[in-house]
Copies of this chain bind each other. A is one copy, B any other.
């Protein structure tokens, strides 16, 4: 009996965005491990153990997955979006590196999913159609000074920017500082997209010029995308289409 771990992405919320590859390993699993709302997306069935845990216990959860697999279990660790983008893949691999020596020989694979920034971008056009960066705005695991440095350099590089975890109740001030930095560094009034609960029935998308953005426009379910200096907005009936052109003039 040979166990394995698959670290999979369930996409942003809509079931039709889950890949057949991910469905297939969920069908083969003996155990599913993850944060409560993501495990809740997996249908219970005979012979499948669902282990739902709270936020901020990523390393415990990872060690649990690896130890079950070492005992022969077929373990799926679920993330929303893509597991490799600010989600469980890096946590599981950290647990491999610093855990039991035998864990390195386990069959551990990461399976991609539709990450939030790409679902959000698609929902309003193609704002990430040119060079861009992705930054996690939470300073739970890194110093705020590094976030600020990256924001200023990203603005100087004229990247479009996608922000994960922009704002939570426990750290409401970071996103306010982020907007202040961008208003100072960008020097223009580019569009900012607030995409909330993307691809779910609760989806809302709001497009606001940078100068009119306010911190309260984002929460933990919001993906924020800031256009580059080149990003275009096509007005029309209903929501505008937003895109960043493929070309930049010499």
Residues of A with Cβ closer than 8 Å to B?
11, 14-21, 24, 58, 82-87, 89-91, 93-94, 96-97, 104-105, 108-115, 118-119, 121-123, 125-136, 141-143, 146, 149-150, 153-154, 156-159, 232, 234-237, 241, 243-248, 250
23 A-B pairs in the complex with CB atoms less than 8 angstroms apart: A16-B21, A17-B112, A18-B19, A84-B118, A84-B126, A84-B129, A85-B128, A87-B129, A89-B122, A90-B243, A97-B243, A104-B234, A104-B236, A104-B241, A110-B123, A113-B114, A114-B114, A130-B136, A131-B135, A133-B159, A141-B247, A141-B248, A149-B157
Closest to A131 in B: B135
Q: Taking each of A21, A132, A133, which has the highest tally of chain B beta carbons within 10 Å of its own beta carbon?
A: A133
Instruction: Report the minimum CB–CB distance from A96 to chain B (whole Å).
Output: 6
Copy total for this chain: 2
In the bound assembly, the distance between CA atoms of A129 and B164 in angstroms comes to: 12
- The answer on a CB contact under 8 Å between B90 and A244 is yes
Which B residues are CB-close (under 8 A) to A105? Answer: 236-237
Q: A17-B21, A105-B236, A136-B131 are in contact. Are A241 and B93 (CB under 8 A)?
A: yes
